[in-house]
Amino acid sequence: MATDISKLGEFGLIRHLTQHIGIKNKETHYGIGDDCAVLNYSDEKDLLVTTDLLMEGIHFDLTYMPLKHLGYKSAMVNFSDVYAMGGTPKQITVSLALSKRFGVEDLEEFYAGLQIACDAHQVDIVGGDTTPSLTGFAISITCIGEVEKGKAIYRNGAKETDLVCVSGDLGGAYMGLQLLEREKAVYYQQLKEANQLKGDARERALKSMEASQPDFHGREYLLERQMRPQARRDIIERLRSAGVQPTAMMDISDGLSSELMHICSQSNTGCRIYEERIPLDYQTAVMAEELNLNVTTCALNGGEDYELLFTVPITDNEKMEEMEDVKVIGYITKPELGMALITRDGNEFELKAQGWNPLKDEES
């Protein structure tokens, strides 16, 4: 009987499939297991390579995601992986699988978004591929970057007493997704009701739907976080300027809790983070209350914030406290102490990897 892939999860599946893969070439310095592979081809720079695959219906919904925004986001999530290694993105290749419902103008919109992102980060589009698809739209982008020789930041370098830091604020992208999904549900309910009408009444209802737009006033930041995430080049530049070399780093794509557990697992450490120090935006907190969701849970597990999670030696505490848009949220401990969240009232709860998992069985 075949093993259900969902039982392993994304990272478990990768470990299972790659555990016996060895390195054959001296240029391959670091392979599978981090945000990027690290290749040695010069005496001054290390080459960084990362790739992401985005599938319609899994990673994005074109009901509410404009193609220009999708192109922009597709590039940014790859740039973010390179920044998470302490590097600088330089080139991307773009491969697309397309169903017949997409025309040339659609691809022009997608590439316009790609180009905006690439221009903002001085990245070149250098190649790719296209192929037909029977199921929709699929996007595969490979990003090539560079980092100073020996300065790549891995997930496995965190040490006891290191500080745990995050950039920006968390949970906003997840709240943006909930907002869009709510409006999508309203739209389809209205469409269903309109289609139950007859003749002129149906036509009037459909025209009324076309003329009306969701009211996102006061929620613009949440939509921006979901649809136009920002890869944090500025944080890498600030760390370099301050002379700070993080001991471990990841970008937050699947949720703070999941990413922190990856760092601790690969570094063989534990951690303590404090609920009161997790950075939140006002719109995120208001939207969570409106939807009757716990805002801390959203920040821990929402994902797609593409902020940087990193650890630094405790001797850099003063630099971190002074650094703009960076927050110290906890510290690294011995592995036997486990990974825990300290709540506002002083209780301690074990961290769990509840972030987004694309291979999870939704019915389990």
60 secondary structure, DSSP code: B
For the residues of 173-186, what is the DSSP string, one character each? HHHHHHHHHHHHHH
Claim to verify: residue 206 and residue 230 sit in the same structural domain? no
Please compute the mean of the pLDDT values over residues 173-192 and round it to a whole number. Answer: 91
Claim to verify: residue 167 and residue 305 sit in the same structural domain? yes
In a domain, 303, yes or no: yes
Residue 361 scores a pLDDT above 60: no
Claim to verify: residue 196 and residue 285 sit in the same structural domain? no
In a domain, 356, yes or no: no
Residues 314-331: b if buried by 16+ CB within 10 A, e if exposed: eebeeebeebeebbbbbb
- Domain extent at residue 185: 178-223
Claim to verify: residue 173 and residue 57 sit in the same structural domain? no
Percent of the chain with pLDDT over 90: 74
For the residues of 123-134, what is the DSSP string, one character each? -EEEEEEEEE-S
Q: Which two tokens stand for residue 237?
A: 């530049």
0.85 surpassed by pTM: yes
| Model confidence pLDDT, tens digit, residues 71-82 | 999 999 999 999
| Model confidence pLDDT, tens digit, residues 340-353 | 999 999 999 999 87
Claim to verify: residue 212 and residue 244 sit in the same structural domain? no
Claim to verify: residue 183 and residue 214 sit in the same structural domain? yes
Claim to verify: residue 192 and residue 334 sit in the same structural domain? no
Residue 325 scores a pLDDT above 70: yes
Claim to verify: residue 243 and residue 268 sit in the same structural domain? yes
CATH number of the domain bearing residue 265? 3.90.650.10
Rounded CA-CA distance 16/110 in Å is 35
Task: Show the CA angle centred on residue 353, arms to residues 145 and 326, nearest 5°.
Answer: 55
Name the pLDDT band for 363 (thresholds 50, 70, 90).
very low
Q: Tell me what the pLDDT averaged over the chain comes to.
A: 90
Claim to verify: residue 168 and residue 193 sit in the same structural domain? no
Claim to verify: residue 327 and residue 233 sit in the same structural domain? yes
